[in-house]
């Protein structure tokens, strides 16, 4: 796969690389997002007619959907397919038999929908994903999205005693926020990031997954003696390294270190936890535990070498199971673990992992039937719809559950177990959502990539990366975001 497609890979929400392959491994999330309050407040400049009148709020219709108003839903046509969304639309039509639903799927989200945003006639619900994703920061900045708080505060589809927000996985609500309490995006898929490996290969070394860095080095030494590298990674796209490195930094130094990095605070990268983790990774290079030639490999080549047993560990996201399905042997026994820590002085326990939402659903502020768009998302966030999605595309959704009774693939099963082990210790660095170029090209390629290839020491890499972060912090042309 060429660099253009790969470049999009590490960014949930931002032009994703080859979503068609990857998405089947992630969880797709569909969420209707819109606050009918803000919808009513924004005077309807909709050429196809004014906003639909709101209906009566009842226990079965908590958002007050107009039961005769049409609802339009545009889905990104990627690896998750259309079936799960079409199934959810049938439920909407059954609940509102007088309403006409217009459902369509396209890979060209931006070129199809941007003109309609400009004309003030957007659809009611959009899965804003893929290579042609519209820029979320711009949509939020121009007040083109509805605040989804009414959806989050509505009773969940299955249990009127629980709000929708109480049924979601950790971090989903926060990911939809940009600056302030309002929630502009609902992510329907859920990705687990970490260190991926073959349980069979690890067992052949008579080893367990290492919890401290001394143990990690010992396992890599054992592998090396058997002719197997300890690690490989996407050398051409080294922004994959943070999938395990960032949560390790959070484990060693605490969440506040990652928050400071996201907030572009001065000297955030000079925190002792960052230095300790950079030193640890650099040791893999110095001791010869990285697969030879890794800096020249792209994501597919590194994943293939790993699947062939040339390297034990690879940092990646849960899409890797589907993306590498054609090269992973049947008896591979794919597993994912939270990153290895340094030692017992780490701030957070072993099991601390990075997991976050993918597949962003939005309700435009000028949607004619915003309540309908949000209701469609409420349906999709039910246990039945979530199970239907996971069963069909082998991926988790934002709904916290929905896996009972489904035969899970090895990687998905391991991901669920890793989330269970993590409990509340799930971190969600936002750099890759907020500052795409900084994360990919500067920190990834120019910083971590150079360090892991042995061309920079950890101290030099940190100095360089801090400089890049400072430049972005000072650049007024870039919108800055902060953890609340």
pLDDT of residue 402: 86
What pLDDT does residue 216 have? Answer: 98
Q: What 3-state class would DSSP assign to 268?
A: helix
Domain assignments of the chain as residue spans, ordered by start: 8-190+358-412
Half-sphere exposure (CA, 13 Å, Cβ side) for 330? 0
Q: What one-character-per-residue DSSP string does 370-382 give? A: HHHHHHHHHHHTS
For the segment 350-403, what is each residue's pLDDT rounded down to a tens digit? Answer: 999 999 998 899 999 999 999 999 999 999 999 999 999 988 887 899 999 888
Q: Name the token pair of 141.
A: 């900045």
Predicted pLDDT of residue 14: 34
Provide the pairing of β-strand 29-30 with 186-198. Answer: antiparallel
Main-chain phi, psi angles of 255, to 5 degrees: -55, -30
The token duo for 339 is: 């990153």
List, for the chain, all residue ranges whose pLDDT scores fall below the cut of 50: 1-48
Burial class (CB in 10 A: 0-12, 13-18, 19+), 345: exposed
**pLDDT for the residue numbered 237:** 92
Q: What does the block give as tokens for 449?
A: 């990539």
Q: How do beta strands 311-317 and 353-362 pair?
A: unpaired
Backbone φ, ψ for residue 240 (5° rounding): -80, -25
Question: What's CA 3's distance to the chain center, in Å?
Answer: 20
Q: Is the dihedral of CA 9, 15, 17, 21 positive or negative?
A: positive
Give the pLDDT of residue 251.
98
Question: Distance between CA 228 and CA 310 in Å, rounded?
Answer: 5
pLDDT at 412: 92
For residue 481, what pLDDT is reported? Answer: 87
Cα–Cα separations (whole angstroms), residue 461 to 278, 339, 432: 9, 21, 19
Beta carbons within 10 angstroms of residue 110's beta carbon:
17
Of 3.40.190.10, 3.30.750.210, 3.40.50.300, 3.40.50.10860, the CATH number of 8-190+358-412 is 3.40.190.10
């Amino acid at each position: 796969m060429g660099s253009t497609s790969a470049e999009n890979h590490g960014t949930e929400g931002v032009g994703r690389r080859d979503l068609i392959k990857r998405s089947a491994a992630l969880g797709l999330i569909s969420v209707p997002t819109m606050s009918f309050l803000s919808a009513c407040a924004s005077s309807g400049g909709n050429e196809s007619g004014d906003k639909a009148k709101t209906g009566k709020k009842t226990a079965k219709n908590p958002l007050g959907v107009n039961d005769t108003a049409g609802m339009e839903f545009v889905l990104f046509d990627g690896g998750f397919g259309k079936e799960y969304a079409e199934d959810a639309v049938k439920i909407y039509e059954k609940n509102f038999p007088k309403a006409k639903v217009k459902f369509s799927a396209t890979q060209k989200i931006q070129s199809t929908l941007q003109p309609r945003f400009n004309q003030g006639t957007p659809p009611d619900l959009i899965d804003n994903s893929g290579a042609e994703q519209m820029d979320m920061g711009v949509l939020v900045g121009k007040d083109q999205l509805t605040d989804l708080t009414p959806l989050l505060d509505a009773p969940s589809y299955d249990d009127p005693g629980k709000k929708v927000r109480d049924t979601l996985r950790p971090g989903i609500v926060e990911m939809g926020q940009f600056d302030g309490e309002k929630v502009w995006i609902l992510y329907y898929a859920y990705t687990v990031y970490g260190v991926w490996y073959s349980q069979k290969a690890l067992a052949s070394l008579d080893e367990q997954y290492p919890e401290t860095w001394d143990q990690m080095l010992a396992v890599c030494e054992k592998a090396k003696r058997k002719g197997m590298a300890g690690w490989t990674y996407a050398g051409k796209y080294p922004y994959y390294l943070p999938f395990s490195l960032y949560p390790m930094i959070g484990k060693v130094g605490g969440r506040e270190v990652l928050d400071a990095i996201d907030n572009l605070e001065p000297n955030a990268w000079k925190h002792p936890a960052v230095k300790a983790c950079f030193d640890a990774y650099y040791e893999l290079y110095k001791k010869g535990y990285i697969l030879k030639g890794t800096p020249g490999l792209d994501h597919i080549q590194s994943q293939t070498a790993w699947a062939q047993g040339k390297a034990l560990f690879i940092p990646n996201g849960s899409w890797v199971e589907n993306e590498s399905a054609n090269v992973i042997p049947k008896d591979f026994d794919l597993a994912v673990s939270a990153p290895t820590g340094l030692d017992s002085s780490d701030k957070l326990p072993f099991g601390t992992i990075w997991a976050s939402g993918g597949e962003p659903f939005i309700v435009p502020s000028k949607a004619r039937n915003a309540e309908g768009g949000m209701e469609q998302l409420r349906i999709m966030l039910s246990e039945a719809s979530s199970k239907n999605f996971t069963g069909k595309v082998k991926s988790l959704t934002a709904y916290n559950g929905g896996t009972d009774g489904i035969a899970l693939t090895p990687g998905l099963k391991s991901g669920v177990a890793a989330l269970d082990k993590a409990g509340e210790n799930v971190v969600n660095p936002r750099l890759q959502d907020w500052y795409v170029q900084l994360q990919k090209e500067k920190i990834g390629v120019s910083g971590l990539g150079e360090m892991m290839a042995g061309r920079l020491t950890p101290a030099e890499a940190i100095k360089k990366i801090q400089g890049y972060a400072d430049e972005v912090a000072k650049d007024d042309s870039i919108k800055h975001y902060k953890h609340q």
